[in-house]
């Protein structure tokens, strides 16, 4: 069964409070999401493999460690996932970025793919799917389905705020996917918003209504 990690680091919790606050404007909201994404990327990359290299310090020849070059792909779910990409790229700039766009079918209410563009070497990459909000879990499950259908084998899911309902759905549908969350909230309301949440992440990131 996939593991669920909730990052209760004080810096993440502090910044998340201002992200949630409705008086926080678009510019600051975007900056804070970017910063929290970086902090989460720091934790999520904890298991990256290292290799030893020979170097010369000003004092002596030494062996030291560098990343062994594991290939990473970041996959934002459009559109709100875009707000987390740059923050992750600051820490792993060599990562490739794919995009998955989903819309909700008005009849079935199920998410449907309308855009998928992935790095060409899907089978060799480890993927981090990002979306600020894990609400019902429908989009996350469909995005992960999309990746798996195209050959992805190692996938993590990262979000700022999750509802328990969404976490359960992703765990059930994709038990091989670990979930990384900055805060696990109480529930979904009747309109599908996470409570207390932060409102509509896409609108708050891009200044739309
Ligand atoms: N998507 C959002 O942007 N906000 C929510 O609360 C739930 C889904």
**Annotation marks residue 150 as catalytic:** no
Give the mutation target among 186, 199, 203 for probing the ligand 1 site: most ligand atoms within 8 A of CB: 199
* Sequence ranges of the domains in the chain: 4-206
Q: 200 labelled as ligand-binding?
A: yes
Ligand 1 in contact with 194 (CB < 6 A)?
yes
Q: What is the ipTM of this complex?
A: 0.96
Distance CA 129, CA 179 (A): 10
Identify the pLDDT of residue 107: 85
Task: Kindly tell me if the per-residue pLDDT of 106 is higher than 90.
Answer: no
pLDDT of 110: 87
> Is 178 one of the catalytic residues?
no
Residue of 42 and 107 predicted with greater confidence:
42
Note the pLDDT of residue 48: 95
- Is the CB of 162 within 6 Å of ligand 1? no
Burial of 108 per CB tally in 10 Å (0-12, 13-18, 19+): exposed
The pTM is what?
0.96
pLDDT band per the 50, 70, 90 thresholds, residue 127: very high
3-state class (DSSP) for residue 138: helix
**How many CB atoms sit inside 10 A of residue 173's CB?**
15
Annotation says 204 is catalytic? no
Mean pLDDT, rounded, for 51-70: 97
The verdict on whether residue 23 carries a ligand-binding annotation is no
Cβ of residue 161 lying under 6 Å from some atom of ligand 1: no
Query: What fold does the segment set 4-206 form as a domain?
Result: Rossmann fold (3.40.50)
């Amino acid at each position: 069964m996939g593991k669920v990690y909730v990052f209760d680091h004080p810096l993440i919790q502090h910044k998340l409070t201002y992200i949630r606050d409705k008086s926080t404007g678009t510019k600051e909201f975007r900056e804070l999401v970017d910063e929290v994404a970086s902090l989460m990327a720091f934790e999520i990359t904890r298991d990256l493999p290292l290799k030893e290299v020979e170097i010369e310090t000003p004092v002596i020849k030494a062996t030291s460690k560098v990343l062994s070059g594991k290939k990473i792909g970041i996959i934002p779910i459009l559109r709100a996932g875009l707000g987390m990409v740059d923050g992750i790229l600051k820490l792993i700039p060599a990562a490739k970025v794919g995009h998955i766009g989903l819309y909700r079918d008005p009849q079935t209410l199920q998410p449907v793919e309308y855009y998928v563009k992935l790095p060409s070497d899907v089978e060799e990459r480890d993927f981090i799917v990002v979306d600020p909000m894990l609400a019902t879990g429908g989009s996350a499950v469909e995005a992960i389905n999309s990746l798996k259908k195209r050959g992805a084998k190692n996938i993590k899911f990262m979000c700022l705020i999750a509802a328990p309902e969404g976490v359960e759905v992703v765990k059930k549908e994709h038990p091989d996917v670990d979930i990384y969350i900055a805060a696990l909230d109480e529930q979904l309301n009747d309109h599908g918003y996470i409570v207390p949440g932060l409102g509509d992440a896409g609108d708050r990131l891009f200044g739309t209504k």
